[in-house]
Structure 1
Amino acid sequence: MPHPAHALDAQEQSTLVTAAAAAPSVLNTQPWSFTAGPRGIDVHADPGRAPAATASAARDVHLSCGAAVFNARVALARLGRGARTEVLPEAGDPLLVARVTVADEPPDPELEALYHCVGRRRTNRYPFRPQAVPAGLMLLLYDAAAWEGATLRALDEEPEYQRVLTLIRKAAWTEDERAREDRAALLGAGSGPPVLPVENLGPVPRGLSEGPAVRDLADGLDLPGRGTATFEQHPTLAVLETADDDPVSWVAGGQALERVLLEATGRGVAASFANQPLEDAELREDVSSSAAHFGHPQMVLRLGYPLTVPPAAPRRPEAEVLRGVEP
């Protein structure tokens, strides 16, 4: 098959892989690999890299890969190419999550404008400033999610805000011990470097007896250098939801998530995740019980204006995530 008129050279293929690999992922495990070529990039799931102890494990892998797919689309736009995206393009290969290929059409200028945010985006587990994210900006983020077929539901009214905040705290109290051990193995000292260094974990929360919305991933681990900090008492919370709840919807949710995060980054807003209740099947139903018409919750986001900007979380080298190069 001949190459398209706007085929990608080796450097452009590397740009695509680097952008895709910069996406957020469950516990920064980066559960993906890529096949690059002149026509674009295939995104493959690597479920063996992700924690396996929660009810959300398969969903989290697809959400992570969906975020990588969106970054690949952004990178193609930056390279002056249009993009065509096929989700789960081969029925016989469930680990081939998506194929993003060069399309014979102009690049999307809105995606191109997000490229400068790909490397700046951080999952920020540090305290935020006490002010809420303005309603106008939340509306813009709602539109970003809607553009990718998802809904971003801001928790801006009571009693819904307290109800979901209570579920977040309850999930932390009732978390399965195996899940804690699984996460500790990824974050603690072992045979290799942890998936998240101390500076990306943020400080140990203090001062709120009921526990903050921010998740202390290393709760119970003795990791020198973390320090402690008081977190904001009333963080801006939002739930990302999709109409359906299957692998295609999870990939769409991941693309919507990354679009929201890049738009937020461009406007000085940081995010972390409060997905604790989504890792428990019963609590996940409770998150959506009062808003079932929106669909199925895929992510719970904590949004705000950062006091501290952490370094970028470490990324696997290109040679490790690139499983093949097509001629």
Structure 2
Amino acid sequence: MQHTGHAMLNASEQLVVAAAAAAAPSVFNTQPWSFVLTDDGLEVHADPHDASMPTASAARDVRLSCGAAVFNSRVALARLGHGSRVSVLPDAGDPLLVARVTATDDAPDPALDELYRWVDSRRTNRYPFRPEGIPAGVLALLHDAARREGATLRLLDGEPEYQRMLTSIRHATWTEDEAVRDDRDARLSPRTGRPAIPVGNLGPVPRRELPDDPPVRDMAEGLDLPGRGSAAFEPHPDLAVLETADDVPGSWIAAGQALQRLLLEATGHGIAASFANQPLEDAELRPDVSSGAAHHGHPQMVLRMGYATAQPPVSPRRPLSEVVRPGRG
């Protein structure tokens, strides 16, 4: 469809779009972005200062996070009755400018409008999941959500690939670099005044009841954080890999948009998700994630999905005054 022109946003509409963008998931809830509000949309800028964990995937994770914020802004524009146009990495001289999102006077995409209701309900859920699997029909919708944004969601539903992934997740967890653990511990410490992930969002300490550790990373392993408790986790969660054909910054931003689209779709069907990206944070282990014969490209995210036994609170967000920069006309 031809875009017939820009749509002007008033101040109230600009804040709706910014708030939706800020509600996106981000690596370790670091919210590594800033927004510039414009008369006809917003710009999403990467803000990696003090946001990147010291892992091999740090730069990719920041762009993925920003891509999720880009998608949420499109959803908000649809709810406001506008179409949208996205220009990814529009300024070669400014690599931190991730995207410009422009409101158009085209009719809004009804599929995006429908997803808006789940923006504030979506959670990263680190609690145990129930044993039943996700129905094939819902999985098909999640596959389609990723495809619409130029990515592939590959469900790991066969052996030996599924077991190989579990082994990679456990191995990456056991061999995690000490600097990464120290950095994460510092971000979780109550002494910071505002830990990146509060206790209620960390989930319980995984209880070991089987010969192998559960395939869930305890983000606060070794930290004494009152109120967490412990729980047995499902030994065989539904695992999927989000992949893109290429592995460049534009692909990472596309993966972030695909991730958020499928997460909002999943939320609407009662499906919870968390991430098992440990192998992707290790440059030596990442190729193992795409070693299956059926892989469709470069792995960007590993998702654990299922029906949750508990709903965590909403993760804290930085005030808009901290993430919105002065706009331009």
TM-score range, shorter chain: over 0.9
What value does the CA root-mean-square deviation take over the aligned residues?
1.1
Deviation at 1:292, TM superposition (A): 6.8
The equivalent residue for 1:92 is 93
Q: How does 1:236-275 map to 2 (within 5 A)?
A: 236-275=238-277
Q: In structure 2, give the amino acid aligned to 1:323.
A: R
**Higher mean C-alpha deviation, range 156-165 or range 252-261:** 156-165
Deviation at 1:90, TM superposition (A): 0.5
Q: Deviations over 1:56-83 (max 9, x none)?
A: 0000000000000000000000000000
1:60–1:5 distance in 2 versus 1, CA, 3 Å: closer
Q: In structure 1, give the amino acid aligned to 2:303.
A: L
**Higher mean C-alpha deviation, range 211-220 or range 70-79:** 211-220
Q: In structure 1, give the amino acid aligned to 2:10.
A: D
Q: Deviations over 1:265-300 (max 9, x none)?
A: 000000000000000011110110124750000000
The equivalent residue for 2:328 is 326
Contact 1:241 1:299 in 2 (8 A): yes
Unaligned runs of 5+ in 1: none
**Higher mean C-alpha deviation, range 303-312 or range 283-292:** 283-292
Answering whether residue 141 of structure 2 is matched by residue 140 of structure 1, we say: yes
Q: In structure 1, give the amino acid aligned to 2:280.
A: L
Deviation at 1:106, TM superposition (A): 1.0
Provide the secondary structure at the position in 2 that maps to 1:240: strand
Deviation at 1:189, TM superposition (A): 2.4
Deviation at 1:191, TM superposition (A): 3.4
Contact 1:277 1:283 in 2 (8 A): yes
Contact 2:52 2:59 in 1 (8 A): no
Q: In structure 1, give the amino acid aligned to 2:65.
A: S
Unaligned runs of 5+ in 2: none
Provide the secondary structure at the position in 2 that maps to 1:47: coil
**How far, CA to CA, are the matches of 2:245 and 2:6 in structure 1?**
37
Q: In structure 2, give the amino acid aligned to 1:274.
A: A
- TM-score, scaled relative to structure 1: 0.97
Q: Deviations over 1:223-259 (max 9, x none)?
A: 1111000011111000000000000000000000000
% of aligned pairs identical? Answer: 67
Contact 2:150 2:244 in 1 (8 A): yes
The equivalent residue for 2:20 is 19
Q: How does 1:217-296 map to 2 (within 5 A)?
A: 217-291=219-293, 293-296=295-298
Q: In structure 2, give the amino acid aligned to 1:16.
A: V
- TM-score, scaled relative to structure 2: 0.96
Contact 2:76 2:116 in 1 (8 A): yes
Contact 1:51 1:183 in 2 (8 A): no
Q: How does 1:207-222 map to 2 (within 5 A)?
A: 207-222=209-224
**How far, CA to CA, are the matches of 1:119 and 1:15 in structure 2?**
12
Partner of residue 310 from structure 2, selected from 305, 308, 311: 308
Contact 2:127 2:310 in 1 (8 A): yes
1:291–1:22 distance in 2 versus 1, CA, 3 Å: farther
